[in-house]
Structure 1
Amino acid sequence: MDIHTNIARRLRELRDAKGWSLEALAERSSVSRSNISLIERGESSPTAVVLDKLATALGVSLASLFEAAGDDAGQAPSPHAAARDQAVWTDPESGYVRRNLSPPAWSPIQLVEVHFPPGQRVAYDTSLRDAEIYQQVWVLEGTMEMTVGERVWRLETGDCLAMRLDCPIVYRNPTSEPARYVVALCRTTN
């Protein structure tokens, strides 16, 4: 399945589970109804910032929007994720590339690998969600600067930073070299 089709399906599933109309999600996310409609039809390539606004409004992690569809044969989702089957998505604004590493089987932990281009920046206006979501960012290569709330952290190769997703977060590669890192997310429900 194409990544935009997968995002479309997942967004519709999450919105339907809440019983929300397009208007209700638009109001809660500050994303226009027409933009949400285009995304749900797979006709738009939304930015990471738009996807984060939608995820925040729905009370889920951004990674949840990339989760694979369940097996149509009624079988339980697989606990295995072959590299060739992992969803890969590129943010059209910053060019950062994210790969969902986690298998389709539900787990409170999600793993995402990110390749972040030099000189790029992505700002998420993250706020409280229905579920508590925590994440750790482990830099595998390069340098990242992360602003969590009002605190700025410079992460070098091998560094790891833990945070709760309840305040604005800015990812920035301040160098002329690409960076690569893994994000581990853990979600709990209230």
Structure 2
Amino acid sequence: MKQEEDLDAVIRARIKGLRAARGWSLDALAARCFLSPSTLSRIETGHRRIALDQLVPIAKALGTTLDALVEQGGDDDVVIRPTVDEDRGTTTWQLNNDRAPGGVSVVKMRFEERPPIPRDQLRVHPGRDWFTVLSGTARLQLGDRTILVQPGEAAEFSTMEPHAFGAHGGPVEVLMLFDQNGERAHMLHRAGGA
């Protein structure tokens, strides 16, 4: 019962917070979700039980989803723990749990230095990749070229050109943006390197 009361309090706070963030009065939100201002006030203050048939129009009016209003938070929503692949010498932090608008995935990666990947093993996939170097020096293999990218520099390129990236002269940490194709190619099917 305590957990249900805690969730109700979170939902009430989210409704009130989203309404306030939009600069709406109780009357303004009530008009958008077809509830009376007094009903909405009692929902926000906990003087009225929240009903599912009221949450759906409230969520829609606030420009969010029912799932976002009722999801329960936990440490997994807050703490991003790295995934270590010792065989490949990589550590990966998936920085966004849900794909951002436009299908972009944000990933921080740390690569230990490994030998360059042979040209015939470089991969291609549709789209473009982007990364910026946080520390160390990144080695970008792009077709027949090898490009060294220093801290503070960024690289963006067509992924239809055979490519791979790794560390040069010691470990490197990079922040990467992948679309669905890039995530699939680099995060799920890495063979011998990213």
Q: Under TM normalisation by the shorter chain, which class is it?
A: 0.3 to 0.5
Higher relative contact order (CA 8 A, sep 6+): 1
Larger Rg: 2
- Structure with the larger helix share: 2
> Normalising by structure 2, what TM-score?
0.46
TM-score for both structures, normalised by structure 1 = 0.47
